[in-house]
Structure 1
Amino acid sequence: MKFGLMVIGDEILSGRRRDTHVDWFRKLLNDFGFSLGWVQILPDDPRLLVRQLKQSMEAGERVFSCGGIGATPDDHTRQCAAEAAAVPLVRHPDAQALIEKQFPDSARPYRIRMADLPAGSRLIPNPVNNVPGFSINEHYFFPGFPDMAHPMGQWVLQQYYQPDSNPQRELSLRVYGASENELMPILQKMVDDWPQLKLFSLPRMGAVSFVELGFRGDEAVEQAFAALQQELQRAGMRFELP
């Protein structure tokens, strides 16, 4: 099972903030036997956000989204999610109650806006300040703050998904003294023989150069990896396991 990740905010693209979501969500998904299928780092641009969210919703993808669900004028994600899902933005009564309880003297007129969510949304609890995130169409929306978004993402997986009992595997080795061009016949044979697996080839340049070759996929990875080693031995290639 693969998930997409959207990191939303001009501050990431401008360099004012450094992203910490990609590595964290990759590890979280791996712990559940899932994988990170793609990442998008997006600006606070409503037209672009609607387009990207509509595309992933129509494709039936599972997506984590971090950022842009606050109450300030540059936070567009709640409205854009509603437009992408073709539903109105409405005041969620349970979200309203949580915000009013957390901020009894300052919920209005601004913080209460964070209770305006796409119609039909389910709430995601926020363990830091109790202002919830929300989900719709298997898209899960969190604040941009890592200390909030990360435990909220973990809660989503624990609440709605079962860990994969047969997670994808990955095996690789290092080939020395050969370029990718010289390895091409072997690579093509591996792709032809094992089309259900993901073959990867990563050249590394440095004091000691090598090409990292491997497979990613189901239980057939071990057989394919053994076949790769046999082909390398037959070709007289020098390799070792990392």
Structure 2
Amino acid sequence: MKFGAIIIGDEILSGRRADKHLAKVVELLGARGLRLAWARYVGDEPGMLLQTLRESFATGDPVFSFGGIGATPDDRTRQSAAAALGVELALHPEAEVAIRERFGGEITPHRLQMGVFPVGSEIIPNPYNQIPGFSIREHYFVPGFPVMAWPMVEWVLDTCYSDHHHVEDYIERAITVEDAYEGRLIDLMERLTIEYPDATLFSLPTVAGDGLRRSVELGMKGPSARVEAAMAEIRREVAARGYTWRELD
């Protein structure tokens, strides 16, 4: 499956907040044998948000959307999702129950706005403060706060996609080749690309400086048997060329 992520908020694009969601969603997916195929950052501007969600819904991919589902004027995700799908917004009955239970006698119309979702949505439980997120068309809308968002993402993965956990035969393996230039390993990379067309080679150089040694991270990703065979060849070849190397987790 190709999962996507949309990370929403002017504060991310301006640098007032540093994004933590991308690394975490990769981690949560990876722990279940799943992968993130793409990610997008977008601010709160309605036109850009609407365009992004229209394009996202058109992919057919399961997508996690972080941020912008509060009830303040700068939270526009729920409105943009409804517009992208051409549906109305309405107070979700299950969300209303959860919000009323959360606030009791302190309930207000403003607080109930947090349960207004695009018609046809289902709720995503929020174990932190019981104010739910929502899902529609395999898009899962959660708050921007990590303490709320991450357990909600885990709930979605374990409730909606458990039959996809660890199904795909896919691994990533890599070594760091010390004091190496990519240019001096190109012939090896080209040969491996030809010999292992069903796997994918990747190369990530590190430039010397600030206490770092020059190195190249060299690895393969794809079916486990093919990746392990390719990595054995990589280890043999870099050792034969006189390089030292170390395994990466």
In the superposition, the TM-score normalised over structure 1's length comes to 0.92
Share of identical aligned residues, percent?
44
1:82 aligns with 2:82: yes
In 1, the alpha carbon distance for the partners of 2:134 and 2:197 equals 38
Matches within 5 A, 1:1-242: 1-162=1-162, 163-166=165-168, 168-206=170-208, 207-219=212-224, 220-232=226-238, 236-242=241-247
Indicate how the Cα distance of structure 1 residues 164 and 85 shifts in structure 2: closer, same or farther if over 3 A, else same. Answer: farther
| Ranges in structure 2 where 5+ consecutive residues have no aligned partner | none
- Secondary structure (helix, strand or coil) at the match of 1:152 reads helix
Give the paired residue count: 241
Structure 1 residue 12: deviation in Å? 1.7
Kept in 1, the 8 Å contact 2:179–2:213? The answer is no
Structure 1 residue 230: deviation in Å? 4.2
Kept in 2, the 8 Å contact 1:173–1:239? The answer is no
Runs of 4+ in 1 over 6 A off after TM superposition: none
The alignment yields a C-alpha RMSD, in angstroms, of 1.8
In 2, the alpha carbon distance for the partners of 1:174 and 1:34 equals 25
In 2, the alpha carbon distance for the partners of 1:60 and 1:237 equals 48
Structure 1 residue 229: deviation in Å? 3.2
Structure 1 residue 145: deviation in Å? 1.0
In 2, the alpha carbon distance for the partners of 1:196 and 1:79 equals 43
In 2, the alpha carbon distance for the partners of 1:65 and 1:202 equals 29
Could you tell me which amino acid in structure 1 is paired with residue 102 of structure 2?
Q
Structure 1 residue 231: deviation in Å? 4.2
In 1, the alpha carbon distance for the partners of 2:142 and 2:32 equals 19
| Ranges in structure 1 where 5+ consecutive residues have no aligned partner | none
Q: Deviations over 1:162-189 (max 9, x none)?
A: 2214452111122234321221122122
Indicate how the Cα distance of structure 1 residues 195 and 9 shifts in structure 2: closer, same or farther if over 3 A, else same. Answer: same
Could you tell me which amino acid in structure 1 is paired with residue 227 of structure 2?
V
In 1, the alpha carbon distance for the partners of 2:148 and 2:134 equals 13
